[in-house]
Amino acid sequence: MTPRPVGGSRGVFLVGWLVGSLLIGFILAPLIGLAATQSPGVLLAVAAMPDVREAIGVSLVAALFAAELGLARPALPWHTSRLRIADLAAGLAGACAAAGKIARDITLLAQSEVGEVREGSAVAEGNRRDQAGGDQAGGSSAMPHKRNPVAAVVILGCTRRAPGLAATLLAAGEQELQRAAGGWHAEWEPLAELLRLTGSAAAWSADLLAGLQVDPDRMRASLDAAGGMPMAERVAGLLAPAIGRLAAHDLVAEASREAAGSGRPLGAVLAETPRFASQLEKARIGRPELAAALDPASYLGGTGQFIAAALAAHRECEDRLARHRRESQ
């Protein structure tokens, strides 16, 4: 499932990181609302003091306690009702998944053999610079030319651990009666660790994307090096009205295999092999039309609309997050 897609989808693919980064913030921001007070001991103590109970009431004490801490006031104590913890774990793991997807893509595209993206030369405004490489983030003490995608690697180191921690928290959610024997205690370490890892992944993601360098020329060179293969679908579509959809698919598939085996461009194989050229002629596809069909710029489809939609989603998410921050103050 890793062959290069059609050229127009690369722009959609990259702008998907923008939406993914916003989803991290959009997932994390509402989680603060899950934090609620847990004070049955205090409230029971008040209930046991008639003078205090009659003067201010248990309900008011609960409200004042929640207000003092800046937390939500639950309707009931939630010692063994762990849905808040389950929702928090799921949200944190989801944010890690979004961060990990971006980081994984970048490690693949930053490989020497691909080289379509690279991390900025000073990750996190210089305060996380690689000590061995000086100002060159990801530098190597032994290989001066080397630039490791350090931010992406650190993000993946965090996010790979999130599913297991979330699973532990969900497994601990089934707790007995009013006090858990082990389930509550099993939450402490994984929850603290999941919070730490998610916060670290989110911070590194912000640094990574802020300094990411994209090389459009390298992307185009990689696309050209594919010899027209990503545009095979386009050629089959042009042949289909004349020879039928299945026949067009099989013809282009056979030509693609021959091109891959011989190392020749797909266009050359189609135009110079008699059995393929005759079918192109039947469909009135000459060399100029074939060259145009194999040009990725001619097959962008809905790329522009997708990118516009992603940018619109970016603006909307930024506005919603800004409103959430204002309301949380």
Contacts by residues 233-236 (CB-CB < 8 Å, ≥ 24 positions apart):
233/6, 234/6, 234/293, 234/294, 234/298, 234/299, 235/266, 235/270, 235/285, 235/290, 235/293, 235/294
Residue-wise pLDDT tens digits, 29-38:
667 666 776 7
Which residue type is seen at 196?
A: R
Is 242 found in the same domain as 184?
A: no
**Does the pLDDT of residue 128 top 50, yes or no?**
no
Q: State the CATH number of the domain containing residue 133.
A: 1.20.200.10
- My answer on whether 197 and 266 are in the same domain is no
Per-residue confidence (pLDDT) for residue 136, from 0 to 100: 53
33-60 residues labelled b (16+ CB within 10 A) or e (exposed):
eeebbebeeebeebeeeeeeeeeeeeee
Establish if 285 belongs to a structural domain.
Answer: yes
299 within a domain of the structure (yes/no) = no
Tell me the pLDDT tens digit for each residue of 151-185: 999 999 999 999 999 999 999 878 778 777 777 78
In this predicted structure, the answer to whether residue 238 has a pLDDT above a threshold of 80 is yes
**Quick one: average pLDDT of 129-142?**
52
> Which residue type sits at 123?
V
Active-site residue (options: 4, 53, 104, 140):
140
- Rounded to an integer, what distance in angstroms lies between the CA atom of residue 291 and that of residue 231? 10
Rounded CA separation 45/62 (Å): 12
Is residue 96 a contact partner of residue 114, using CB atoms and an 8 Å limit? no
Q: Is residue 319 part of a domain?
A: yes
Q: Do residues 238 and 110 share a domain?
A: no
From the candidates 179, 284, 323, 325, which is the catalytic residue? 179
313 and 182 inside one domain:
yes
Handedness of CA 204, 100, 329, 327 (dihedral sign): positive
Segment (H or E) for 118? strand 117-118
Judgement on whether residues 248 and 201 belong to the same structural domain of the protein = no
Torsion of CA 130, 133, 134, 137, to 10 degrees: -50
Q: Are residues 48 and 118 in the same domain?
A: no
pLDDT in tens, 66-123: 777 777 777 766 676 778 888 889 989 999 999 999 999 999 999 888 888 888 854 5
Looking at the fold, whether 44 and 125 belong to one and the same domain comes out as no
Most confident of 27-31, 45-49, 145-149, 305-309: 305-309
Q: Is residue 320 part of a domain?
A: yes
pLDDT band of residue 195 (cuts 50, 70, 90) is very high
Same domain? For 30 and 61 the reply is no
Question: Got the DSSP string for 211-272?
Answer: H-EE-HHHHHHHHHHTTTGGGHHHHHHHHHHHH-HHHHHHHHHHHHHHHHHHT--HHHHHHH
Residue 309 lies inside a defined structural domain of this protein? yes
Candidates 101, 83, 93; CA nearest to 194 is 93
Nearest to 285 by CA among 271, 269, 296: 271
Say if 181 falls within a structural domain: yes
Active site annotation includes 140 = yes
Report if residue 27 sits inside a domain. Answer: yes
Q: Which distant-in-sequence residues (6+ apart) come within 8 Å of 317 by Cβ?
A: 22, 23, 25, 26
**213 DSSP β-pair partners:** 118
Q: Tell me: do 139 and 92 sit in the same domain.
A: yes
- Domain of residue 172 covers 8-34+78-221+304-328
The Cβ-side half-sphere exposure at 248, using a 13 Å CA radius, reads 19
- Let me know whether 49 and 85 are in one domain: no
What CA–CA distances, in Å, run from 207 to 44, 242, 308? Answer: 48, 53, 24
> Do residue 181 and residue 250 come from a single domain?
no
- Tally the domains of the chain: 3
Residue 2 lies in a domain: no
Predicted pLDDT at 223: 84
pTM, two decimals, is 0.74
* 20, 55, 76 - which closes a domain: 76
Nearby residues of 168 by Cβ (< 8 Å), 6 or more positions away: 186, 187, 190
Identify whether 298 is a catalytic site residue: no
Domain shared by 83 and 184, yes or no: yes
